[in-house]
Amino acid sequence: MNQGSVVSVRGSVIEVRFDDQLPAIRSLLRAGSEREIVIEVYGQSGRDRIRGVALTPTQGLARGDTVVDTGAPLKAPVGKAVLSRMFDVFGNTIDRGGPLDDVRWRSVHAHPPALARRSTRPEIFETGIKIIDVLMPLERGGKAGLFGGAGVGKTVLLTEMIHNMIGQQEGVSIFCGIGERCREGEELHREMREAGVLSNMVMVFGQMNEPPGSRFRVGHAALTMAEYFRDDEQRDVLLLIDNIFRFIQAGSEVSGLMGQMPSRLGYQPTMGTELAELEERIANTESGSITSIQAVYVPADDFTDPAAVHTFSHLSASIVLSRKRASEGLYPAIDPLQSSSKMVTPGIVGERHYRLARKVRRTLAQYDELKDIIAMLGIEQLSPEDRRIVARARRLERFLTQPFHTTEAFTGLPGWQVGLDDALDGCERILDDEFADCPESALYMIGTVDQARERAKPQTDGELEEKGESSREEGRVLDRNDA
């Protein structure tokens, strides 16, 4: 065995001297009394020295300790046995289940599929969420990003997409948590088990408290499993990544530990290359597809941040979440004017869908322009046509809200999954002023547009009398409390 000795330990960066042969870049080294400390070789700093980044905590490691070269890179388990299980970056199960049987181990480092193998047939991927399917439809085998700051609903939206799509998805779903909280992993595992969909799902987690090297490689491990199901099993794969910004952040930490000169805003100079190495492997081939939906944290809601800009360039659809809409209670808090999809063309979605999406976007944009006039002068100063535009836009905004299955316990509202035809039909009828006499509140948090009529129905005399009696009883209780 090729052995070396530790020269220095600087946090997660370990320098090791080898007398015989230097290990290859990306090889794994093991150290510690039980070989529990794992180091990945990042560079060769001399004729007999390498510098590596630890993928595990380095407590107890000291100068002079023996290091063993495994001669192999980091590997991930692949095979049908990985379904319904939860893994860490090393392929160890962390769900308290039994041992893994009948799996193969594959290097997490791979080249993207050649251009000749890629499929170029565009196809819509329905999510059951109205505002996404109408205005920014996703591409099957494409990459979509959920952009937003802290607390605007990225993880909730991602979890709802899993709930909606895993039932109709005949392939495999892989959830990759990069730098996520252990609470979110436990909740997701429990919800998927209760929904009965865990048998076609794999979860890979690199938690927040793990070293940056581990968080940096967990995305590659999940992608290796996805490539196995696409290429070997020839199945469609849904890859959900939460959060791709943590991947960039982990790469920035590794770069800083290795002493590289930082680039703009302190990011690593190799950010574009590292992100492309991950994203380019997510592709559509003749045998199967990997459809990826990625949550992207936007620091300080600044969309000019280099992390957000570099991620935008890889995506076929960008879903931007707005803190302003979240504060207004318009959930999902997606900004329809900043979000976009390259699938909204007549040749892909069809003439009717394209025309309606354009008309909805134009109506919302006109309302956005009129908001300043309304704030200063009031809606009475607008022309009759502008007032009709405002009424349509406000009803569209409320119709495009939707109660989620994953938030039923918090909102008390039953979740709705709405088909594309129903969503388009509702938008068309609102644009045709069919609901002009319907109160705006009746369109808020509903599924199909016909539910608005049910909400807006005049109450019978008996219901009104019962409601009045209830109000009088509440008044008597309040009077007694005051007394």
176, β-bridge pairs:
204, 241
Give the span between the Cα atoms of 40 and 18, in whole angstroms: 15
Residue 232 gets which letter from DSSP?
Answer: T
Q: Which of 58, 131, 67 is nearest to 333 (CA)?
A: 131
Q: Which residues have a catalytic role annotated?
A: 154, 180-181
Burial 197-207 (b: 16+ CB within 10 A, else e): bbebbbbbbbb
**DSSP assignment of 453-475:** HHHHSPPPHHHHHHHHHHHHHHH
CA count, 13 A, side-chain hemisphere, 365 = 9
- For residue 29, what are its two tokens? 């080294």
Give the span between the Cα atoms of 185 and 56, in whole angstroms: 20
User: How many CB atoms neighbour CB 328 within 10 A?
Assistant: 12
Give the span between the Cα atoms of 372 and 370, in whole angstroms: 6
Residue pair 184/156 in contact (Cβ under 8 Å)? The answer is no
What's the Cα-to-Cα distance from 19 to each of 38, 46, 89, 186, rounded to whole Å? Answer: 20, 12, 30, 46
Residue type, 98: G
> Residue 141, by phi and psi: left (phi above 0), alpha (psi -120 to 50) or beta?
left
Residue 197 φ then ψ, to 5°: -115, 10
193 sits in which H/E element = helix 182-195
What's the Cα-to-Cα distance from 242 to each of 112, 158, 205, 255, 296, rounded to whole Å? Answer: 21, 8, 10, 22, 7
Give the span between the Cα atoms of 115 and 182, in whole angstroms: 38
Q: Is the dihedral of CA 79, 81, 84, 85 positive or negative?
A: negative
Give the span between the Cα atoms of 221 and 91, in whole angstroms: 8
- Dihedral, CA atoms, 423, 425, 427, 429, nearest 10 degrees? -150
Give the span between the Cα atoms of 388 and 379, in whole angstroms: 11
- For residue 445, what are its two tokens? 């948090």
